[in-house]
Amino acid sequence: MAKATQKTTVYLDAEDYRRLKALARARHRKPAQLLREAVAEYTARQRPRQKPRSIGAGDSGRSAEDLLSGMGLGHRSARRGGGRRR
């Protein structure tokens, strides 16, 4: 079943219109079909992306500082047996 369409007017400069017509002719399509596809693709790419849901602390009740304390210190137990770190 075909989608309902809305009529609009688009002004193109002469060179863009010439290239559109040549492309449509080469693909055996109408210029309006190519424009509809181009607009659909462009608007899909420009649609605001949903922000990902939090995968962090969320509602744990703990502050970020508490959750991150000790990060970046490494494992001290790994340094004990193998000599000094330089």
- 76 domain residue, yes or no: no
- 70 domain residue, yes or no: no
- 67 domain residue, yes or no: no
- What is the tally of structural domains in the chain? 1
Spatial CB neighbours of 23, under 8 Å, sequence gap ≥ 6: 34
Going along the chain, which residue ranges are E strands? none
- 59 domain residue, yes or no: no
What per-residue confidence (pLDDT) applies to 60?
63
What per-residue confidence (pLDDT) applies to 61?
66
What per-residue confidence (pLDDT) applies to 40?
94
Average pLDDT along the chain, 86 residues, taken 10 residues at a time:
86 97 98 96 87 62 77 63 53
Matching residue, tokens 């001290």: 76
What per-residue confidence (pLDDT) applies to 79?
52
- 37 domain residue, yes or no: yes
**Domain that residue 29 falls in:** 14-46
pTM beyond 0.75, yes or no: no
